[in-house]
Structure 1
């Protein structure tokens, strides 16, 4: 069952990456019927048929045969999609290696310790440092 789900998901991703929808697969019978019409009526081969409906001759064929417009709209792969992915690459005049850190480096002065409480220990050798 897992393999079936994996195969179905991978096929879905493959078909969507090629911009093929499931309704396009369902409309394949319309493509076959319209091809049979063209081969009987005009004597077109399959490559000429594809060129007339999806290739270089599409505009001329649509202008010449306006009566077939409803059949042409039923053919698969007729949907229009636009993918706008603007890619922006900005290169600064400074080299990346020459750029400096944005974080300021602050040197602190010498640490000075002041006792804020009374001398508990007295003058023992284990006193906290008074100057660092």
Structure 2
């Protein structure tokens, strides 16, 4: 079960890295219908169709066929992507040094260990019981 979960999660991350959305998957039928329309009307194969809608012929095709603009907006992979990132920068012109305080030598000590000389271990209370 954990292998199935890890494979599913890996595939999800892979598809997200391709920038595939569920809207793109839902619009694949519009892609196929429009490709069939181009094949019947203009005689385009799949590679020419992709070039006209996603490649180097896109601007020319958009200018020549403005009546298909509504169909072109419904094709998958035509969404704008926006990626946010943070940039780190370093100010090198200013010198923000903190003055160091000199270390103090610890000559006075407030704690002295004094061993207590208690002779409690020799008292009769802490001796083992004696047999009577």
TM-score range, shorter chain: 0.5 to 0.7
The match for 1:108 is 105
Q: Which has the higher contact order (CA 8 A, sep 6+)?
A: 2
5+ long unaligned stretches in structure 1: 94-99, 114-132
Deviation readout 1:1-52 (Å, 9 max, x if unpaired): 3333222221111111111112211211111111111111111121111111
The match for 2:80 is 80
The CA RMSD measured in Å over matched residues stands at 3.0
What is the number of equivalent residue pairs in this alignment?
A: 109
The match for 1:54 is 54
Distance 1:30 1:65 in 2: 17
The match for 1:71 is 71
Distance 1:112 1:9 in 2: 62
SS at the partner of 2:85? coil
Q: Segments of 4+ in structure 1 off by > 3 A?
A: 86-93, 100-105
Structure 1 segment 19-38 matched on structure 2, within 5 A? 19-38=19-38
> CA 1:107–1:18 in 2, change beyond 3 Å: closer, same or farther?
same
TM-score (norm 2): 0.67
Of the two, which has the highest radius of gyration?
Answer: 2
> CA 1:76–1:102 in 2, change beyond 3 Å: closer, same or farther?
farther
TM-score (norm 1): 0.67
> CA 1:15–1:106 in 2, change beyond 3 Å: closer, same or farther?
same
Shift of the alpha carbon at 1:104? Answer: 4.7
5+ long unaligned stretches in structure 2: 111-132
